Amino acid sequence: MFDRVLVANRGEIAVRVMRTLRDLGISPVTVHSEADAHALHVRMADASVCVGPEASAQSYLVGERVIAAAKQLGAQAIHPGYGFLSENAGFARAVAAAGLVWIGPPPKAIETMGDKLDARRTVEGAGVPVVPGVSRPVSDPQEALAIARQVGFPVMLKASAGGGGKGMRLVHDEPALIKGLEAARREAAGAFGNDAVYVEKFVVEPHHVEIQVMCDAHGNALYIGERECSVQRRHQKVVEECPSPFIDEAQRVAMGEVAVAAAKACGYVGAGTVEFLVGGDKSFYFLEMNTRLQVEHPVTELVYGVDLVELQVRVAAGQALPYTQADIQPRGHAVECRIYAEDPVTFLPSPGRITALSWPEGPGVRVDAGVDASSTVPMAYDPMVAKLCTWGSDRAQAIRRMRRALDETSILGITTNIGLHHRVLTHPAFVAGRYDTGVLSTPLPDGPTPTAGQPEAVLAAVAIARHVADERRAAQGQAPAGLTGWKIEGHERMLRGG
Amino acid sequence: MFDRVLVANRGEIAVRVMRTLRDLGISPVTVHSEADAHALHVRMADASVCVGPEASAQSYLVGERVIAAAKQLGAQAIHPGYGFLSENAGFARAVAAAGLVWIGPPPKAIETMGDKLDARRTVEGAGVPVVPGVSRPVSDPQEALAIARQVGFPVMLKASAGGGGKGMRLVHDEPALIKGLEAARREAAGAFGNDAVYVEKFVVEPHHVEIQVMCDAHGNALYIGERECSVQRRHQKVVEECPSPFIDEAQRVAMGEVAVAAAKACGYVGAGTVEFLVGGDKSFYFLEMNTRLQVEHPVTELVYGVDLVELQVRVAAGQALPYTQADIQPRGHAVECRIYAEDPVTFLPSPGRITALSWPEGPGVRVDAGVDASSTVPMAYDPMVAKLCTWGSDRAQAIRRMRRALDETSILGITTNIGLHHRVLTHPAFVAGRYDTGVLSTPLPDGPTPTAGQPEAVLAAVAIARHVADERRAAQGQAPAGLTGWKIEGHERMLRGG
Amino acid sequence: MRYTIEHGGEPVTVDVRRLGADRFLVQIGDGPAKVVEAHADAFGVHLLDGPASHRVRLADDGKQAWVRGHAFKAEALDPQAARRRSRQQGGAAGGGDRVITSPMPGRIVKVLVAEGDTVQVGQGVVIVEAMKMENELRAELAGVVASVHCKADDRVEGGARLVVIDPAEG
Amino acid sequence: MRYTIEHGGEPVTVDVRRLGADRFLVQIGDGPAKVVEAHADAFGVHLLDGPASHRVRLADDGKQAWVRGHAFKAEALDPQAARRRSRQQGGAAGGGDRVITSPMPGRIVKVLVAEGDTVQVGQGVVIVEAMKMENELRAELAGVVASVHCKADDRVEGGARLVVIDPAEG
């Protein structure tokens, strides 16, 4: 086993990986940008090397500096987290070339699965069903139009190198296709340095369900249940759960076996996720394989009682998986809410300095945060500040527990999407477990009780709370919240929009 | 199922019970003393009634006021937590007489098990092994001496109505017996209103192992694993774990079956704990049955994937247990550390106002706190402010995870026993899993590294941290910590004692 | 201080004055002024109304508050803010803003309109990129583009004025 | 400010002066003064020493600090405290305190000695009850009880002087 591992990331995933490293008795070290010298992931590490200025393209994404840092700090392996260099096959090769262990799949598997068209061809060969569409990138709008007419609208535009909703567009008609193609290519170029985009049939009543797979270097491969990720806003996952309320045991086994087949088709080792589109008729199609740890992996950990980062580290160290497929048994139900620093109305990122912070506690609650009570959320990076997960003996309890957890959460200084989560967690379709990826495309019902239904004492309490906050700000020489500059305008728009 | 339940307690257990009530969709309400109007448990409740002044004898222990509060608030049931009225059979009867449901065992079972001598006679009848000693209270020192000579020193003095180490004394010789008897009777009278004390043989290399049992009103009874509670200081549990490193599967089954027999012998319904003394030779003796939720119940919940409070509520509502004995399977290992507001050297309670608070997070960590970042720990009540629990796939990981969790914890404004926990969690006997109740009777090894071994940067960092804290205090018009009055003396004694 | 508190329905005006450590004088709308005992901490306020326990959690620097999953918006009403508010509403057709501002710091990807263009409600005017996501800012009212204050690749601050629209005659 | 920092072995003297937001001038013992960059928050300080990352967590109002499970004691050294310290040590035999004080608020259960009694090191002198647990306070030095300042059932504050012992001639 390793003595020291470098985590080449920041924020919640760097913190989460370092926690398991400590729990395994491994010294965690990391890298940071100039802006992150005192960020939480650096404070939690035993050592950290500055790899460049704030912009990630000049720091966290500069592979050679990360490798040099690992050598300097005496790390034997590099864990990339997700995002940044995690799906960069060239970096994975360079890590190995530097005599370090790459805690991730073989570079060839990353390459195969990293290119969506290549991935589709590879898994098709292994008998894995794929979404109808054309397995080649398009740049000419007329060609895209021809394909779309062939498979029929609506179609999805997807960045070939993409992920996480970037460079992705659902288009319903021909003008939208032309406009969307340009935007998708521009986003793809900006986000991935590759503007290849392809066109795919859009499955009706689609569910986004993914299977967690875990393979060791000794030929053992497991599927560790599924995650339902259909609660999305603009193709970004918002709430995930395990198991899927839409999938029964027979389908779980069928999809699990297909996922393992897909992993084996590309010689996979380590943790990976095979994403499927599942139609309202339960037909399922391979979408892509994410060759890294997934943001939402904790719900799987809570239900299956495994630590996926621990397994990643053990497999990378050459150990065999400590489980057989029969050991992998679910217990209860888990839900995850991604907490973003974002405006609740415009959904735009809302960075800033956290002035007070209190996370939920108690039975069945897990918090993975990338910030603490004194952190600043910088503009330069992903605005996700934490993931809240709850476990319950059944789905209803997990959901009520999440509502309680959200209610126990206090974050001041930045604006978050907690309000969105409150509305999702009380959304009738979500509560009933009958929803598809369209669940957030219609406006969410507002909180159930209008002002008239609230006792006067609650209104008084809210006004007093606001007043005390203003007093505190005044004591610090600041103006009351919302009384200066653009905040007023944004706020008034919010009032009208709400 | 109930719509509304009153939690007749305060602090972490009231908060913990209320969390599960919310997670079940039940409205939690509570009671409070005048000093606790804004305590955490009141803030978390939907409603609360003041039942008297700060002294618990005049508030939390006044059964009729608690029952009146439940009626006033429209609660259908009362959960007593642990301590306070939880083992008061008269209160349990009064609850039922008021037309409310008592979330606890039948009053008769409380009475039988509440009197240690009665309990001993009852379980002996069911074939349960008990510690050699005499089944009657003693008040005459000469009689006590005679018994002690008969069973042989060392002997334990125990309050007949007692629990939690109060009114309990281990005595090794005759003068200590005479002196201890007086103190034990005085403490027993003060704590339980009953000065009956009995004498019992002290088992050598003793382990304190307890079995969780759960019985419904339909005749179903389960044992849900054991907890090892041998890490004790002055007969108070400090660190608990599940499973016990000292118990194998065969012994677990044997003790479990005996525990269920003991529960059935008194017609038990609900959650209870059968405490055993296990000798170095693995012989085990019934000590007592706690007819309530146990402080350390979360380690069982983490390993067995059950919510014991949920089961208590379901059983009280007349439901059958949703599990059979075969469903009760352990997964991994869990450890609990009790965080007390206490002086690290004198072990005396150290109440005060919390000025900053940050709990650990991430995989395998559970926090049950009775305070938040703005709480005051009053002198009048139990000084336990929180319980930290960690789960790991094996014991070593659970322990390392707890070390990490302790390291992630920040509590300012009060003094806590976190230092004691750091030392227990690195104690060679504890880490090896080879310890008995004597583990803390010899001085703990100090932190492994003396000053000389620490880099100068660490010394600089500590001094800067202290300096910044002093600056902050000065900005609030306070003197630097430790520069006024008795704190200096206490502190200097600490320096010399350390 | 005077605040408007909104939760779902119409905003309600609440006047608050501190009387002591945990005591406040509160007047809701035109109702009677009452002395309210409330305990404040870093995260909000706790108030016992008879037995009813109300825990208010602040969010977003005090502008939002949560009470058991219910969102409230709390706005400070002072003469200046009230003036600004009425001015802004007077200048807008259909309730939308005349001025398109950047809701946060970011980079201008593309300006979709030029001075003198006619725009419809909901028409895209500027694409701003923030944290690698593109966001299209749309016209909130129909009219004519009076002025454009940014160009592609500009870095803009939150609140920066990007485009001003002269409303069409309603 | 001057502090003594103790961790296991001998205390070390450290002088600290703030130079700026995250900059401090630090001198350890008689070593050279150095400029140290350290970032403080509500819970302590973070310092990068080259690549080494040191996170100090304060406890107990700043008197204790934790660095990855290692305890440090940090004491402010000012002339007044130093005087008090030396006076106290001078008055004690064997390093123990002459004055037995109540380490926290509580109730006196029993006074075990009277004026003029001879006491040995470790002998119980007073039993104090706090939070339902009885705690015996013991003599830290051998000598004669000079005065007793409490009686059974007294409520005492933390730091209250309970018993004073005249040390036996060493």
Say if residue B492's pLDDT is above 50. no
DSSP percent split of chain B into helix, strand, coil, nearest 5? 40, 25, 40
Helix (H) or strand (E) holding B313: helix B308-316
Residue B390 lies in a domain: yes
Do A264 and A407 sit in the same domain of this protein? yes
User: Residues of A with CB below 8 A from B366's CB?
Assistant: 361-363, 365
Range of A415-429, B85-99, B336-350 with top mean pLDDT: B85-99
Tokens 């500059």 belong to A485
Can you tell me the distance from the alpha carbon of A107 to that of A113, in angstroms, rounded to the nearest whole number?
Answer: 10
Judged against a pLDDT cut of 60, whether residue B493 lies above it is answered with no
The percent of residues above 90 in pLDDT, for chain B, comes to 68
Q: Residue A38 and residue D52: Cβ atoms within 8 Å?
A: no
**B496 to D88: CB separation less than 8 angstroms, yes or no:** no
In this prediction the pTM is 0.83
Confidence of residue A498 (pLDDT cuts 50, 70, 90): very low
- C79 compared with D72, residue with greater pLDDT: D72
Number of domains in chain A: 3
Chains in touch with C (3+ beta-carbon pairs under 8 Å) read A, B
Question: Which pLDDT score, from 0 to 100, does residue A70 have?
Answer: 98
Residue A211, in any domain of the structure: yes
What residues in C contact B45, CB-CB < 8 Å? 53
Candidates D48, D56, D66, D67, partner chain A, best to mutate (most A CBs within 10 A): D48
pLDDT tens-place string over residues A459-497: 999 999 999 999 888 887 766 665 433 232 322 222 222
The answer to whether residue B450 is domain-embedded is: no
- Last residue in a domain, options B410, B426, B441: B441
Q: Chains C, D in contact: 3+ Cβ pairs under 8 A?
A: no
Once rounded to an integer, what is the mean pLDDT over residues A125-136? 82
Report which residue type is found at D85: R
pLDDT of residue B66: 98
Cβ contact C53–B373 (<8 Å): no
Who has greater pLDDT, B190 or A366? Answer: A366
pLDDT in tens, B81-91: 999 999 999 99
Neighbours of chain B (3+ CB pairs under 8 A): A, C, D
Contact assignment for C16 to A190 by CB distance below 8 Å: no
Q: Chains with 3 or more CB pairs closer than 8 angstroms to A?
A: B, C, D
Kindly list the structural domains of chain D, giving each domain's residue range(s) and its CATH number in brackets, ordered by start: 2-80 (no CATH), 91-167 (2.40.50.100)
Residue B163: give its domain's CATH number: 3.30.1490.20
Residue pair A216/A321 in contact (Cβ under 8 Å)? The answer is yes
Length of chain B: 498
Cβ neighbours of residue B442 closer than 8 Å, sequence gap 6 or more: none
Structure tokens, C61: 């620097």
Mean pLDDT of the A248-266 span? 96
Chain A partners of D53 at a C-beta cutoff of 8 Å?
Answer: 42-43, 45-48
Query: Hey, is the C-beta of C116 within 8 angstroms of any chain A C-beta?
Result: no
CB contact under 8 A, A466 and C8: no
Q: How far is CA A362 from CA A95, A418, B103, B333, in A?
A: 41, 19, 20, 18
A367 contacts chain B (CB < 8 A):
yes
Considering only the beta carbons, identify the residue of C54, C62, C103 that sits closest to A470. Answer: C62
pLDDT at A452: 55
Interface contact flag, A38 D42, Cβ < 8 Å: no
CB contact under 8 A, D99 and B489: yes
Task: Pick the most confident of B4-8, B172-176, D17-21.
Answer: B4-8
| Contact A31/B at CB under 8 A | no
Chain D CB within 8 Å of residue A43 CB: yes
Just list the catalytic residues of B. 288
Average pLDDT, chain A: 90
Full residue range of the structural domain in which residue B316 is found: 207-441
Å between B109 CA and nearest CA of chain C: 33
* Residue A347 and residue A255 share a domain: yes
Higher pLDDT, D102 or A227: A227
Burial class (CB in 10 A: 0-12, 13-18, 19+), B13: buried
Does residue B463 belong to any structural domain of this protein?
A: no
Domain limit, last residue, from B410, B441, B472: B441
Residues A186 and A232 in one domain: no
Length of chain D in terms of residues written: 170
Predicted local confidence at residue B475, as pLDDT: 81
C-alpha–C-alpha distance, residues A45 and A31, integer Å = 9
* B66 domain residue, yes or no: yes
Q: A351 and C6 in contact by Cβ < 8 A?
A: no
* Contact with chain B for residue A192, Cβ under 8 A: no
Cβ density class B159-188: b for 16+ within 10 Å, e for less: bbbbbbbbbbbbbeeeebbeebbebbbbbb
Write out the E strands in B191-267: 197-201, 207-215, 221-233, 236-242
A403 vs A161, residue with greater confidence: A403
Mean pLDDT over the full length of chain C: 82
pLDDT band, very low/low/confident/very high, at B299 (cuts 50, 70, 90) = very high
Say if B374 is an interface residue toward chain C (CB within 8 Å): yes
Tell whether the model's pLDDT for residue D80 goes beyond 60: no
Mutation to test the A interface, candidates B23, B42, B312, most A Cβ within 10 Å: B23
C74/A462 Cβ within 8 A: yes
Least confident window among A6-10, B62-66, B206-210, D118-122: D118-122
pLDDT of residue D20: 87
Residue B258 falls inside a structural domain: yes
Find chain A residues with C-beta within 8 A of B13's C-beta: none
Is residue B25 very low, low, confident or very high in pLDDT (cuts 50, 70, 90)? Answer: very high
Examine residue B125 and state whether it is found in any structural domain, yes or no.
no
**Co-location of A300 and A432 in the same domain:** yes
pLDDT on residue C145? 93
Across A1-9, average pLDDT: 98
CA of C54 to nearest chain B CA: how many angstroms apart? Answer: 7
> Do both A136 and A246 map to the same domain?
no
Chains with 3 or more CB pairs closer than 8 angstroms to D? A, B
Q: Are residues A179 and A257 located together in one domain of the fold?
A: no
- How far is residue A171's CA from residue A180's CA, in Å, rounded to a whole number? 7
CB B36 within 8 A of CB B382: no
Is the confidence at residue A204, as pLDDT, over 80? no
- Rounded Cα distance, B433 and A54, in Å: 47
Would you say residue B241 has pLDDT above 90? Answer: yes
B303 & B390 share domain: yes
pLDDT at A321: 97
Stretch C138-159: mean pLDDT, rounded? 86
CB A191 within 8 A of CB A175: no
Q: Which two tokens stand for residue B217?
A: 């009103």
Is the pLDDT at A132 greater than 80, yes or no? no
> Does B494 score more than 50 pLDDT?
no
For residues B331 and B303, the answer to whether their CB atoms sit within 8 Å is: yes
In contact, B309 and B77? CB cutoff 8 Å: no
Report how far apart, in Å, the C-alpha atoms of B221 and of each of A90, B263, B320 are.
59, 8, 10
Average pLDDT in the A126-135 region? 82
CATH number of the domain enclosing B399: 3.30.470.20
Say yes or no: A350 and A228 in one domain: yes
Q: Note whether B227 and B141 are same-domain residues.
A: no
In a domain, B146, yes or no: yes
Residue of B nearest to C22 (CA): B38
Percent of chain A at pLDDT exceeding 90: 68
C64 class by beta-carbon count within 10 Å (0-12 exposed, 13-18 middle, 19+ buried): buried
Q: Which of A267-271, B38-42, B141-145, D8-12 has the lowest mean pLDDT?
A: D8-12
CB contact set of C74 (below 8 Å; sequence gap of 6+):
A462, A463, A465, A466, C3, C4, C5, C6, C62, C63, C64, C65
In whole angstroms, what is the distance from residue D157 CA to residue B434 CA?
Answer: 42
Which neighbouring-strand residues pair with C14? C3, C28
A337/A433 same-domain check: yes
Among the residues of chain D, which ranges form H helices? 79-90
* Rounded distance between C-alpha atoms, residue B204 and residue B206, angstroms: 5
Span B18-36, average pLDDT = 97
In this predicted structure, the answer to whether residue B449 has a pLDDT above a threshold of 50 is no
Shortest Cα distance from C144 to chain A (angstroms)?
A: 21
Does B154 lie in the same domain as B74? Answer: no
pLDDT at D90: 40
Contact with chain A for residue C60, Cβ under 8 A: yes
Same-domain check for residues A262 and A371: yes
* Residue A347 binned pLDDT confidence (cut-offs 50, 70, 90): confident
Residue written as token pair 């008995």 = B436
Would the CB atoms of C48 and B48 count as touching at under 8 Å?
yes
What type of residue is B322? P
- Range with top average pLDDT, A191-195, A448-452, C49-53, C83-87: C49-53
Q: Do A495 and C73 touch (CB under 8 A)?
A: yes
A486–C contact, CB cutoff 8 A: yes
Over its C-alpha atoms, chain D yields an Rg (Å, rounded) of 21
Within an 8 Å CB–CB cutoff, is residue A46 touching chain B?
Answer: no
Mean pLDDT, residues A97-107: 98
**Closest-CA residue of chain D to B185:** D134
Question: What region, left, alpha or beta, does residue A457 occupy, with left being phi > 0 and alpha being psi -120 to 50 degrees?
Answer: alpha
* Chosen domain end from B182, B201, B220: B201
B109 membership: H or E segment, kind and range:
helix B107-114
Q: Which of C12, C60, C95 is the closest to A459 by Cβ?
A: C12
State pLDDT tens for residues A293-333.
999 999 999 999 999 999 999 999 999 999 999 999 999 99
User: Catalytic site residues of A?
Assistant: 288
CA distance A321 to A270: 10
Q: Does C79 touch chain A (CB under 8 A)?
A: no
Mean of the per-residue pLDDT values of chain B: 90
pLDDT band at B347 (very low <50, low <70, confident <90, very high): confident
- pLDDT reading at C169 higher than 80: no
Nearest beta carbon to residue B460 from set D28, D75, D95: D28
Looking at residue A497, what is its pLDDT? Answer: 28
